[in-house]
Structure 1
Amino acid sequence: MARFSDCDILSINETNLKPQQLFSLPGYHIYRNDRQNKQGGGVLLAIRNNIKCFEIFNQTIEDNETLAVQIETFNGFLLIASIYIPPNAKLNCDVFQHLYKINNNCLILGDLNAALCTMGSKKTNAKGYQLQQLLADGFLQCIDNNLMTYARNNYEEKIDWILASQPTLSFIDNVETYPSLGLKEDHRPLTFHLNMSAELKPGSPRLSYNYKTADSKLYRSKLNDLLHKIDINQNITNAHQIETYVKELTESIVSATKTAIPLTNEKIKNFQISRITKNLIESKHRAFRQWKKTNSDANKKEYYNIKQLLNNSLRNDRIAYNGLFNFSLNLSNKNNT
C-alpha cells in the first residue's frame, strides 16, 4: 500500500476482510463492503480524509459486490464506485444502471473478470459479452487500451476495468499498470490521473496552548466529570461502536483542555508555498511513480534528488514567510508608537 500513498483515492477488490475485522489507512477515510458468511471477496474505497465525501451505495446484488461514494467537486458531485464480480457470477447490468441513475456523473472501477477483445483484451469471455452489452447501452464508456491487468503462469489478460460516463471519461489520462504485489491472484495495480479538483474540507486552525499556565486540578476535575458520563461497561463489538467510543473520549479530553489550559496569543500559521515548490511536488510524485514502475537505480536516484530539492525549497519558503511575518510585526509596532 505504501507504493500508492500519493494517491487520493484507492479502490481495492478482494479485500478478504470480515465485518468484525478492523482496517485503517493513515490519512484516509475507509468505506467497505465485506463479503458475508463466505471466504474471499469484498471491496473497499479509501478516500483522502481532506476530501468531502460520503457513502451513497453499499450492496451485493447477485454476487456483484458494490460500493459507491459521492465526492464533492467544483463541478458538482462525482460518484465513484468499486465493483468486484467473481469468476462464476454474471455481470448484472442493473447494478451499473442503478449507479448511473444515482448520479449520471460517475466513475466505476473494478475487477469484473470480463475479457473483451474489442477493448484491449486478448479474447472475449462470457462476461466480456455482458460488458459489451452494457457499453452498447451507451450511458457508460471504458478506457480503450491494451494494458494487461492480470498475469499468471505466462498468461496475461485485461479483466480489470475503468468505466465512466461523459464528460468524466475525458478527464482521465496517464493510465498505467504496475508489477503485481506478489499476491496469489497476480492482479496488476492500475493507476490513472483524474484531472478534476475535489472540494476540500476546510482546515481547522492549529491552536497553541500555554501549558505553563495550565490549571491541572481543574483539568482533572473537568475530565473526570466528563468521563463519568461515558458508559464504560458497554459491549463494544463492531467498528461503529469503537468509533463512537473513541469520539466520546476525544471530545472529553478536548473539552477539559479548553476549560483548564489557556491559549497562547498566536495561532500556529501555515506558510504559503511558492510556485517552484508546487512544481517540485508534482515532479517528485512523477519521479516516484516512474521509479516504482521501472525499479531502476537511475529513476530511484532521480526521485531522491528531487526530494532533496523539494526539502530545500520548502525551507526557503518557510524562511521567506517568517521574514515577511516578522517584518509586518515590526511595521505594526512602529505604527503603534
Structure 2
Amino acid sequence: MGNKQEELETCVCLQGYDIIGITETWWDSSYDWSVGMEGYRLFRKDRQGRQGGGIALYVNDQLECMELHLGMEEEPTKNLWVRIKGRAGAGDIIVGVCYRPPDQGDRADEALYRQIGAASRSQALVLMGDFNHPDICWRDNTAERKRSGKLLECVSGDFLFQVIEEPTRRGAMLDLILTNKEGLVGDVKLKGSLGCNDHEMVEFRILRAARRALSKLTTLDFSRADFGLFRDLLGRIPWGKALEGRGAQDSWLIFKGHFLQAQERCIPTKRKSSKTTKRLP
C-alpha cells in the first residue's frame, strides 16, 4: 500500500487534480493514519466484513463540499455521493464514485439504480466508477445479459450519458463516467495503470459552461412531421417475416432500426431554444 500511495500522491502533485475517485481501495481502520493527502478532504467507504472492495473520493480542500446520503436505509451499496458547491455564477455539482462487485445481487443493483435516479435529478451530476458489466456495448446500447440490461435501462430512463469510449481493463470497458448533462464532461483520456493495478486511470475535465452549450442541441420538430409517410414506411415492412424466429432483444433491435430510419425521413429536427433547454426530454 505504501508504494501505491506514494505513486498516487506523486501523480496528483504533477497533474493538479481537484477530484480523485478510487475504487477497490482494500482499506480498513488500519489505514486511517496513512491515506490522507495534504490539500485534500477525504471521503471513504470501506468494505465491511469482507476482504477487498472499498471506495474513496479526494476533493481539493479549496472546494466547499459535503457528503450526501442517498438511500442509506436501503440495501447497502458501494457508492459515495458528494455535493460540490459551485463558484460564483455556477451551480452545484454532485460527484459520485461507485464500485459494483461482479457478484452483486439484484437487490443491491436496484438500490444503486434508485440512488442514481435520485442524483440524476440534480442540476449537474458526474458519476464515475467500476460497474463490472463487460458485456455492454455502449456504442449500440446493447447487453448480452439481463442484469447488464438493467443498467442500460437506468441510464436511458434517467437521461444519462456514458462518455468513456475505450476499454479500461484487458479489452473490456468496466469503468464508466455517467453524467446528466451533454457536454458537462470532456477531455477524457486513459492514463495507464497505477502500480500493480490492471485498470487504466481515467482523466477528464468537468466543463462548467455545459448548461449554456445545451442551446446548441437539436430536437425532433413534430409540427413539421409527415406522419402519413411515417405510417406508410412502417406498414410496408413484413413484420412477421422480419421477426420470425427472433428473440426479444433481436426483435427490438430490428424494430428500432426500421423505426429510426423512418423517423429520419419523416420528422425534421430543429435547434432547441434557450427557453426549453432545461426541460427534461
The normalised TM-score by structure 1 is 0.51
Greater C-alpha radius of gyration: 1
- Tell me: CA distance 1:120–1:3, structure 2 relative to 1, closer, same or farther (3 Å): farther
Report SS of the residue matched to 1:129: helix
2:104 equivalent to 1:89: yes
Shift of 1:171: 2.5
Q: Report the equivalent of 2:154.
A: 134
Counterpart selection for 1:3 from 5, 11, 16? 11
Matched residues, percent identical? Answer: 23
Contact 1:68 1:82 in 2 (8 A): yes
* Residue in structure 2 matched with residue 66 of structure 1 by the alignment: 79
Conservation of the 8 A alpha-carbon contact between 2:39 and 2:61: yes
Alpha-carbon shift at residue 98 of structure 1 (Å): 2.7
Aligned to 2:188: 175
What is the number of equivalent residue pairs in this alignment? 188
2:183 is paired with a residue whose SS is: helix
Contact 2:80/2:96 (<8 A) preserved: yes
Map Cα deviations across residues 94-134 of structure 1 (whole Å, 9 max, x no partner).
Answer: 12113235x34211111011231133899744543122111
Worse-matched range after superposition: 90-99 or 38-47: 90-99
User: For 1:118 and 1:161, how far apart are their aligned partners in 2?
Assistant: 10
Do structure 1's residue 16 and structure 2's residue 13 form an aligned pair? no
Instruction: Say if 1:120 and 1:144, in contact at 8 Å, map to a contact too.
Output: no
Query: TM-score scaled by structure 2?
Result: 0.60
CA positional deviation for 1:30: 0.3
2:62 aligns to what? 50
Which among 107, 116, 119 is matched to residue 126 of structure 2? 107
Secondary structure of 2:31's match? Answer: coil
Structure 1 unmatched ranges of 5 or more: 198-337
84-93 or 55-64, which deviates more? 55-64
Counterparts of 2:30 and 2:164, CA distance in 1: 39
Matched residue type, 1:4: V
Aligned partner of residue 138 in structure 2, secondary structure: helix
Q: CA RMSD in A?
A: 2.5
**Which structure has the highest helix share of the two?**
1
Q: Distance in 2 between matches of 1:52 and 1:174?
A: 24
Given residue 57 of structure 1, which amino acid in structure 2 is its aligned partner?
Answer: H
Would you say the 8 A contact 1:114–1:126 is kept in 2? no
Query: Deviations 1:290-332 (Å, cap 9, x if unpaired)?
Result: xxxxxxxxxxxxxxxxxxxxxxxxxxxxxxxxxxxxxxxxxxx
Q: CA deviation at 1:165?
A: 0.7
2: distance between equivalents of 1:65 and 1:165?
21
